Amino acid sequence: SAYNYYSDFVEKGYYNRIIAGNITQVVKVDSVVCDFNNYPYIAKTYAKEMIIRQSNVTERSLVTTCRLTNASRSDDNPNGFIIEGLTILENRDIQTVKR
């Protein structure tokens, strides 16, 4: 599901516009809530996203949800989970400040 978001963004030229516009993005995770009582585990992530442009800085609220399934631990996956069904629940502007 994360790959689907990536593919959709590539198709719409999202990454090319970020590079052409000299835009920087910073994502800071506030918290992750996970229900380990039922399998597959449901996780919800709350974060703030900063989109830094030459003319302004936009702060956004980002909320996602996904399922976590067990996987073998490895150097590439030390937590031993696979993220499935990633869904963006909220990605709204909080404020925009001119620079």
Taking 90 as the threshold, does the pLDDT of residue 20 lie above it? no
| Alpha-helical regions (H) of the chain | 2-11, 14-20
Q: Decide: helix, strand or coil at residue 57.
A: strand
Q: What is the mean pLDDT of residues 60-86?
A: 93
In a domain, 7, yes or no: no
Residue 11 lies in a domain: no
- Which residues span the domain enclosing 89? 23-98
**What pLDDT, on a 0 to 100 scale, did the predictor assign at position 17?**
86
Distance CA 87, CA 39 (A): 18
Residue 5 lies in a domain: no
Tokens matching residue 98: 């001119």
pTM summary value: 0.79
Give residue 97's region: left, alpha or beta (phi > 0; psi -120 to 50): beta
Give 80's contacts (C-beta < 8 A, 6+ positions apart). 70, 71, 72, 73
- Position 61 scores a pLDDT of 98
Inter-residue contact 27 to 34 (CB < 8 Å): no
14 located within any domain: no
**Residue 3 pLDDT level (bands cut at 50, 70, 90):** confident
Question: Residue 65 pLDDT > 90, yes or no?
Answer: yes
Grade residue 27 by pLDDT with cuts at 50, 70 and 90: very high
Domains of the chain: total: 1
Higher pLDDT: 42 or 9? It is: 42
